[in-house]
Every structure is written in C-alpha cells, then in structure tokens.
Amino acid sequence: MDPQPYHAIPFVKGLPLVGNLFKFLRDPLGNAQALAQHGRVVRSRSFFETVSLFGPEANQFVLHDREGNFSSRGGWKYWIDAVFPGAIMAMDDPAHRQQRRIMQAAFKRSAMERYVAAMGPVIEAALDTWPTGPAQPLMAFAQLKALTLNIAARVFMGMALGPQADRMNQAFVDTVRASLALIRKPVAPLAMWRGVRGRRVLVGLMRSSLAEKRASPGPDLFSQLCHAAGEDGESFSDDEVVDHMIFLMMAAHDTTTSALTTMFYCLARHPEWQERLRQDAQALPQPHLGYADLAQAERTEWVMKESLRMYPPLTSIPRNAQRDCSFGGFQIPKGTPVGISPIHTHHMPDWWTEPTRFDPERFCPERAEHRRHAYSYLPFGGGAHLCIGQHFADMEVKAVMHQVLRRFRLSVPEGYRMPYQLVPIAKPRDGLPMTLAPL
Ligand code: HEM
C-alpha cells in the first residue's frame, strides 16, 4: 500500500502558540507516551512542528539510515552552531565520516589507559573535600559537576588544577549554558552573550597551547587530537582541533554528570545494590581504578546502564529529513524535522520487564533485555553518530564510583524522591542533597 500523505499523520495540537512545549519540558516521558498513543508516527509542535517516531524500528530507521534520509546537521544546528561551530555531531557525510575517522585515534586503547590513570588523583582530591555526616548534606549534583569539570581540565586539557583551570571551567559553563538559551541573539548580559564570550576565552586558551601540544605529545585528549591521524595519515588543522576540543568537552560534561547523579540517587535509594557494588570495589586492591580493572566492575556497569535507561541524559534525538522518505505508512517530505525518543523506548513494556522498576540485573548476560532489539536501548544513540565517548564515560563513571564506594555510604531520607527535570539534560531540581557516612 502506498504511504499516506504527510497531512494524514496524526497531529496533536497542544496549546495555542506553544503547542506541547511546556509539557515536553516538564515531563518528556509523559509527553512522549501521550503522543505515542496516536501511533508510531505523530506530528506535534514544541519549538517547531516535528514528526516524532516511536519504538525501536523507528530508532533504527532514523539512526541506522542506510539510505541517507536524515541530516544530523539539520537536527542540531539550531542548538549548537552559535557556540559550537564545527561540532562533529552537526556534520553530515562525507565530512562527518572523514573527521570521525581521525577523532577515533584519540580514543584508542593506549590513550584510554592514560586517561583513566590521570582521573584517579583528581577524584581523590575532590572526595577529600566532600562534607560528611547528616549535619552537612552533600549537594550531589553540584559536587559531581565540579568533579567532572576538574577531570576535564586535567584529562582533556592536561591542566593542573588552579586559577587557570577555574577560568576555563567558568568559560566552559557559560558556553554550554548558551547552547540551551531561549533567546538566541548575543545580547548582554543574557546567556547567549555570556556563551559567545566564554567560547572566546576557550579558543584563546587552546590556541595559546596548540604549538606546545603539537611539538611534544602528552597523554591528554588535546594532545591526542593534535597528533591524531586517520588511516591515510590525514590529520586535523588547528581550527579543527580547537572546535573538536570545545565540543568534546561539552558532549562529555553534562551527560557524564547526569549519569553519575542519577546513579548516586539510585544507589542511595537501593542500599542493597550499593552494598554489592561496594563489595566489588573493595575486592580490588588499588585505591584508584586502572584500565585493567574495568571488567571487574561488571555490576557497576549494570547499575550505570539501568540509570541511563531510566534517565537518559538525552531524552530525544533530533534529525531533519534531507530526502523524501516514508515510515509507518506515512510520507515524510524532505525538510521535515524528525525526532526519536530514547526515553520512550526505554520505558516500553513490549521490550522491558516492569520498565518503571529499578532492576540492574535486566542487563546481566542471562537476561540481557537490552539485546532484544538492536535499537531498544540507546542512551548513546546509534549508527554513524553513535557516541564516540561511550567507553570514556563508562571509564569515568566506574573510576568515580570505585573511590566513592570505598570511602562513603550514600543515603537519602526514607521516602525521598528526587524531583528532576529531564530536558535539556536530566538533572535534579533540588541538587540532590544526600548524606555521606565515612566508612
Ligand atoms: C553518559 C555519558 C554520555 C551520554 C549519555 C552520551 C550520549 C550521546 C548521544 C545520545 C549521542 C548521539 C547524538 C546524535 O546521534 O545526535 C552522542 C554523541 C557524541 N558524544 Fe556522547 N554521551 C556521553 C558521554 C560522552 C563523552 C564522555 C564524550 C567524549 C569524551 C562524548 C562525545 C560525543 C561526541 C563527540 C558525539 C558526536 C559523535 C558523532 O557525531 O560522530 N560523549 N553522545
């Protein structure tokens, strides 16, 4: 049967002018579940009119994209072009394929071994300063954000902690905030203006150490990008190194902070799991996790996966149709904004047993619920733009959890439920106060 025309796609109007925007911002899962009641292909309006596609087949259709129907650039440019020009996520082939091949060299095993080794002392120094005892709650989100920034300064930039790293961190925070600014013009003192200024600081800092990094390769990611080479020996220009660095820091930062925060919450609410992970951490002799230890932290990986299933830092992934195509019996004309919804798929009872329950064992090899469909579990996306930092994030999370669980017991009051916002990135509204008891 021929696909039906675009205007036949069910349209959920929402409120006058704003459409579903507020519902999407308040409760992206509830919003997606309400839309999906109208079918696998639904039109709605939030920032602009978008076609939402639901379920693993839809995710595969959009991300695997054998036919080249979708543009990642078209999906992302509105959000990231102003402060993250040259971002790999907003590139399409052939430039994307070429740049990604070179970038891959900065994530090879030998580099990863050095990154995780450099994280250990930064984590230890941060934990030394964390408040303990019920009288001084740890504001987990703020502390984890500061920690991941310090890890980035050290591991990405090769900087010692201190005033220069603080300046870079502030510039970076301003830059990231601007990518989500509702007012997109750089008008002082609004977020976009601060972001453009922050980006200038970052570019200046990176440019000033480019020559040194090019001359003598170090273990940090910045050096690795300066020396990264593709299969045919192609390498990055200075501008490309700077653009990729700034984007990599942004792609790594809020996402990993979000993952750690939701893990802290899940572990505080499920002390039996916290105890299991602690036993695994204590079974390793080293105070800092090394690359060779990563495989031992298998149960930490299940908890991480389960936290990312329930609270994926990116709840939806945008694209733009660059060709006429069709899905689920409907035409999708060239130029249509299209979105898929990992958070919706992660809660579909067709694919997950009791999807609202925290159950890390669903990821154990015997159950492996995430393998029921290649695109039913996608906190890191999929296809050509699959997160290049997936293993880096896994390493960073395990390295942090290893030290935290060996030193502290995490708890939240009986009955506490974290109020969280999921858009633009999952984070607690109350900063997630918790008590740390030293062991
Ligand atoms: C828990 C942590 C993380 C999550 C949940 C996450 C999630 C994602 C997702 C969903 C995408 C795909 C976006 C799309 O298809 O449009 C992506 C892409 C990307 N991520 Fe991550 N990410 C994480 C950590 C990191 C880290 C640590 C790095 C770098 C060290 C990183 C670097 C990137 C880059 C460069 C891309 C774009 C890849 C491309 O376009 O080829 N991410 N990430």
pLDDT of residue 64: 98
Q: Please check whether residue 52 lies inside any domain of the structure.
A: no
Picking from 215, 214, 236, 228, the residue whose alpha carbon sits closest to that of residue 110 is 228
Q: Please check whether residue 261 lies inside any domain of the structure.
A: yes
pLDDT digits (tens, 9 = 90+) for 319-346: 999 999 999 999 999 999 999 999 999 9
Q: Please check whether residue 66 lies inside any domain of the structure.
A: no
Q: What are phi and psi of 44, to 5 degrees?
A: -155, 175
Identify the residue with better confidence: 293 or 176: 293
What is the rounded distance in angstroms from the CA atom of residue 184 to the CA atom of residue 302? 39
User: What 3-state class would DSSP assign to 339?
Assistant: strand
Asked if residues 328 and 58 have their Cβ atoms less than 8 Å apart, the reply is yes
Residue to mutate (ligand 1; options 92, 387, 388; most atoms within 8 A of CB): 387
Alpha helices in 1-55 (DSSP H): 21-26, 28-36
Instruction: Assign 17 a pLDDT band (cuts: 50, 70, 90).
Output: confident
Q: What are phi and psi of 41, to 5 degrees?
A: -130, 115
Q: What are phi and psi of 170, to 5 degrees?
A: -65, -45
| 260 CB within 6 A, ligand 1 | no
| Average pLDDT of the residues in 275-298 | 96
What is the rounded distance in angstroms from the CA atom of residue 223 to the CA atom of residue 206? 11
Residue to mutate (ligand 1; options 61, 145, 255, 260; most atoms within 8 A of CB): 255
| 89 CB within 6 A, ligand 1 | yes
| 123 CB within 6 A, ligand 1 | no
pLDDT of residue 372: 97
Is residue 271 reached through a cis peptide bond, with omega within 30 degrees of 0 on the bond before it? no
Q: Which helix (H) or strand (E) holds 282?
A: helix 271-283
CA 256 and chain centroid, separation: 6
Q: Please check whether residue 415 lies inside any domain of the structure.
A: yes
What is the rounded distance in angstroms from the CA atom of residue 193 to the CA atom of residue 145? 22
Kindly give the number of the ligand 1 atom that is closest to the alpha carbon of 312: 5
Kindly give the number of the ligand 1 atom that is closest to the alpha carbon of 91: 40
Domain range enclosing 275: 86-316+350-438
Q: Please check whether residue 144 lies inside any domain of the structure.
A: yes
Instruction: Using CB atoms within 10 Å of the CB of residue 128, give its burial: 0 to 12 exposed, 13 to 18 middle, 19+ buried.
Output: exposed
Instruction: Determine how β-strand 317-321 pairs with β-strand 337-340.
Output: antiparallel
| 72 CB within 6 A, ligand 1 | yes
DSSP string, 167-196: HHHHHHHHHHHHHT-SS-S--TTSHHHHHH
Kindly tell me if the per-residue pLDDT of 173 is higher than 90. no
Number of domains within the chain: 1
Q: Say which residues have a Cβ less than 8 Å from residue 185's Cβ, sequence separation at least 6.
A: 192
pLDDT of residue 92: 97
pLDDT of residue 128: 98
Instruction: Assign 206 a pLDDT band (cuts: 50, 70, 90).
Output: very high
Q: Please check whether residue 423 lies inside any domain of the structure.
A: yes
| 380 CB within 6 A, ligand 1 | yes
Kindly tell me if the per-residue pLDDT of 14 is higher than 90. no
| 392 CB within 6 A, ligand 1 | yes
Instruction: Assign 179 a pLDDT band (cuts: 50, 70, 90).
Output: confident
Q: Please check whether residue 213 lies inside any domain of the structure.
A: yes
Kindly tell me if the per-residue pLDDT of 293 is higher than 90. yes
Kindly tell me if the per-residue pLDDT of 108 is higher than 90. yes
Query: Lowest mean pLDDT: which of 286-295, 378-387, 409-418, 423-432?
Result: 423-432
The CA-based diameter of the chain, rounded to the nearest angstrom, is 67
DSSP one-letter code for 322: S
User: What 3-state class would DSSP assign to 314?
Assistant: coil
Percent of the chain with pLDDT over 70: 100
| 387 CB within 6 A, ligand 1 | yes
pLDDT digits (tens, 9 = 90+) for 66-77: 999 999 999 999
DSSP one-letter code for 296: G
C-alpha count within 13 angstroms, C-beta hemisphere, residue 111? 21
Kindly give the number of the ligand 1 atom that is closest to the alpha carbon of 63: 15
User: What 3-state class would DSSP assign to 330?
Assistant: strand
Kindly tell me if the per-residue pLDDT of 424 is higher than 80. no
| 248 CB within 6 A, ligand 1 | yes
Q: Please check whether residue 147 lies inside any domain of the structure.
A: yes
What spacing in Å lies between the alpha carbon of 386 and ligand 1's midpoint?
7
CATH number of the domain within which 206 lies: 1.10.630.10
β-sheet bridge partners, residue 52: 42, 339
What is the rounded distance in angstroms from the CA atom of residue 172 to the CA atom of residue 89? 18
Alpha helices in 292-437 (DSSP H): 298-310, 342-345, 390-407
Which residue is closest in CA terms to ligand 1's atom 16?
317
pLDDT of residue 364: 98
| Average pLDDT of the residues in 284-313 | 96
What type of residue is 177? R
What is the rounded distance in angstroms from the CA atom of residue 47 to the CA atom of residue 79? 11
DSSP one-letter code for 19: B
Asked if residues 332 and 49 have their Cβ atoms less than 8 Å apart, the reply is no
pLDDT of residue 166: 86
pLDDT of residue 230: 87
Terminal-residue alpha carbon distance, the chain: 65
What spacing in Å lies between the alpha carbon of 45 and ligand 1's midpoint?
26
Kindly tell me if the per-residue pLDDT of 162 is higher than 90. no
pLDDT of residue 73: 97
Query: Lowest mean pLDDT: which of 124-128, 185-189, 233-237?
Result: 185-189
Kindly tell me if the per-residue pLDDT of 23 is higher than 80. no
pLDDT of residue 191: 87
What mean pLDDT value characterizes the chain?
Answer: 93
Q: Say which residues have a Cβ less than 8 Å from residue 134's Cβ, sequence separation at least 6.
A: 435
| Average pLDDT of the residues in 367-384 | 98
